[in-house]
Each structure stands twice: as C-alpha cells, then as structure tokens.
Amino acid sequence: MDLHLVAAALRRDTSDLNLYAGVLLNTLREALPPDCVTVERGRWGLRRVRALAVRLNERVLTLTASDPGLVAVIRHEVRGVMLSRRTVALDTWIEELSRQLIQRAELDAAAAAALRRLVDPQDFG
C-alpha cells in the first residue's frame, strides 16, 4: 500500500469533521477493533461531531473542531501513559494516520482490504 495514495484518500472531506468522522468510521469499522475509532458528539442530543480519535499501535490521533478549523494532535501512549503530545498541521496528522494504518494493514488482512477500498472505492462498488 502506497503512503501517498492512502494520505490522498484520507485528505478527502477534511473540511467537515462530521463528514470526515463518518468516512473514517465507515472505512475503519470493519477493519479495526471497535475501540480504535471514537467520536465525541455535542451535548444535548446535537449530532455535530466535536472530536474524533483514532487509536492505532502506540499512537492516538485526535481531531477536534474549533472555531478557526480543526485542531490535530498526535499522542504517543504506552499502556495508558502519555509519553508525548504534539499539535500538528492537518497534513502531518493525515500522514501519521496513513503510516499507522499501513503498518496495521501489513499485519491484518481486513485492515488491508479497508485501505484498498478507501484508496479506490470504485473497485468495490
């Protein structure tokens, strides 16, 4: 799986966190354990996504909706202990997510199939 192809596919729809969360959830739901992708929604029944977290390997990648746009954070955690936390540009976040997904796909056929569908959805439609 090519890092640049995965990253390009993950860059689609990043302007709307609700849409992006849906894309990630639908793409990754069948490939990853249920606790790998979590979504935090607004209070009082509002359906707007406030934050999205993807937990892969020892990385936790979060996107949080803020007034000027999205805040992208990459954390390195080992056994629940945070070793580092970096706020990064969205492109950096997407590249790290792509790396982590590719690493997972090398070990897991379902994850590999989900990434192939993400990169070229016409092959599966």
Within a domain: 103: yes
pLDDT recorded at residue 120: 67
Within a domain: 22: yes
How many domains is the chain built from? 1
Within a domain: 14: yes
pLDDT recorded at residue 70: 80
Q: Residue 30 sits in which domain range? A: 3-110
Give pLDDT tens digits along the chain (125 positions).
555 565 566 666 566 666 766 666 666 666 677 778 887 877 665 667 778 888 888 899 998 887 777 889 999 999 889 999 999 998 899 889 888 887 877 777 776 777 676 666 554 44
Within a domain: 80: yes
Within a domain: 119: no
DSSP letters along 53-113, please? EEEETTEEEEEEE-SSSEEEEEEEEETTEEEEEEEE-HHHHHHHHHHHHHHHHTT-HHHHH
Within a domain: 90: yes
Residue 119 contacts by C-beta under 8 Å, 6 or more apart in sequence? 1, 2, 5, 6, 9
